[in-house]
Chain A
């Protein structure tokens, strides 16, 4: 009977294609929007992932990584004294304006790394040597700074610009994850960073730390918090905290959530309606099958097979199209697109729900169908 079910499905080519299009569209929309949403969330905490350190210590009231709440300089030593901490270094992070030689101003994020270790430095360098930021007035840029501050002809190794009326000379260009706000990042040493910025009572933004081998990082963050009163987070915790803040304060979750929900509803409506029409138009045939001895259970199985066959085909095509879209857009770096297995699994569950819903409407109709219809 599976054979008959599939022949019936593929035999009505117009309805099959309509069903397939509806489900493909739903899958593509959900995967595409879900991947862009997740890409944006990853971007929102790129300030954490780009520095690649396991523990972040700062003011306990911090809401997210880009909302800096300076803490006392002594915090570095207090963190170092906590048992289980292998090392702890200061990090300056703040907004500043850069003035280029052509007179243009650009807002930048200044990141000041501890000079002896350069912990938090980007992993990949595209041009120059990152260690050269130890030289006088030297800074490194991320590639987004090059893109946003005039392009590779204007911003390159050797370019000189001003930060708060002080000279800054580009010695390296690093490759980093784009940020949610896409503000360029300028790297220098911690000591030079606090000379660039206007005087403040407190200049330390974060203490970056690492747990000793064999000591769980969660245990060390708990100890840091208990012994210093500061907020201590694993990189993962801080990332989720930042994502949570973005979701709560920007409305982006509602925006993408609505689109994803619409994709789900439209997919369900198209699939449900088309599938129902498919069943209704074949009602006499189903009635004939029932009269000839096919049980309602077998008919239900046939309907489910049809629904899941077209559903899984739509799932494959939809994901394929969304992936091609993602590949093309992510390649240019213009749009974040991160397709995770969790998202694909979620979409599969959503799709199976759509198919089950569509099939159930038809199954209810068939269960109530009197085979006597064939004699009318």
Chain B
């Protein structure tokens, strides 16, 4: 077994660096910031060393079953992605957190989270995945909590509650999986499952394992934590959450689908339904939102729905899943790049205005050309416009659906269901464009007669961060314009891990067949924006300015109306009732006995008949009972016994 050094370094060095940084930070805050940058830079560098290698690291006995990391293909891509995004957000953080309290704490947990995230992405064993998954949930909780406003605390508590609940359900699933298969190593599981002819016994277990990852990925109906946590966390943390932490859930689901339910159609259909709901739900929530970061948060949810559709198609398509696999993988990566740019841009707005409400921040970006261009790049990318990177991955996902429709047609089966899926998919793509246009127009186009005072001293963004943002934004069209050079290569490295072969021929991204989908989405997007957003969700006030309206009905809130009352009210009440009943059973029985045996007179318990049958009295004589030598009598008994023992010995 090849014992790699890089793999444990990637996982444990950031953690160690975080602790060292904490100690440095107590003395010197600037040094701590640069130290954090150095740590993330070194981690990024180390992750680059993995490229083109197959490394394995195993340490038996840790936490019981031992750790197993493997670097190769997919894991390397994810590790490099993690390293890069963490480096960028850390550099960006220095400016963002300038005026904040508790920065030392943030940096500590931010670096701990990096190690844990690396641990998840590099794991080759569900046991290892789970360990780092739990660590990550707890360390990232502190990042969400950072601002400590009332809303942030509430959002963070929801985040943690969902994470703990999800973690425990997943753990239950892992218990059962391990019990049934005797291993949690992904490769061995794949071999084991390949030999099973009847997988029906595993679906229940699969759903349990899936639960925690789905909660982390923000899938419906476990998405409740996501919009609030993303919105209320500081921008660099939101970026990390959206780009990587939520993706650990997607990663887990990918692993379950590729390793346990490989080419399994029922499982694929299950994923498809959840994916579709999440995709549409996220998009609709994003459309209604009037908060910049909330829109981006719901958009993340929607995009994860897109990835889920890709994962689902891998299962449904079976042998022909190459397109779906690379589509999923590329959308995973593209979405991370896009959301990095978007959340950091939103962070710029917040840094300056300390506000995210569209009606208040309106017009902030009118005179900031760089920010406008950067944001526009990301808009075009996430909207799936040809020549930007989002288009490539969305096309692949779309193609995989179309491919399945062809297969169904050839087999002579009904294609109605899959046609619906296809149109909903394109519709969700249109919604993406609509809500992105909505926030872009609000922040960068519209005028605001009452601009908020700028809270930040100096330029709205310092030069270093301007360069970083510009570079990140530049990468988006570059990836989109040269898909064969960039995207195809990445997917070729990664897809074998998902059990797909590289497609027979390169996909013609810019052929009319493929462009058609984008055009449909574009038309839908324009229609929704002009016919719905501008008419229903906006109105003009007396001064002739547009006002964004919050039309989302308050009663349509799964968290406030269902989960919280149920989990914090009803269930504890029922459980508490039975627990109290059980808890007081014996005491109640004893009181009954006392009532039957003793007479109570003036709060003194008096034995009724037998004067030799005595009981300790309640009431005023309590102290004397004790003072008059309970301890001493015990001591005397002890001494007596000791003497007796000595006598016997001698």
Q: Do A and B bind each other?
A: no
Q: Which residues of A pack against B, CB within 8 Å? A: none
Chain B contacts to A: CB under 8 angstroms: none
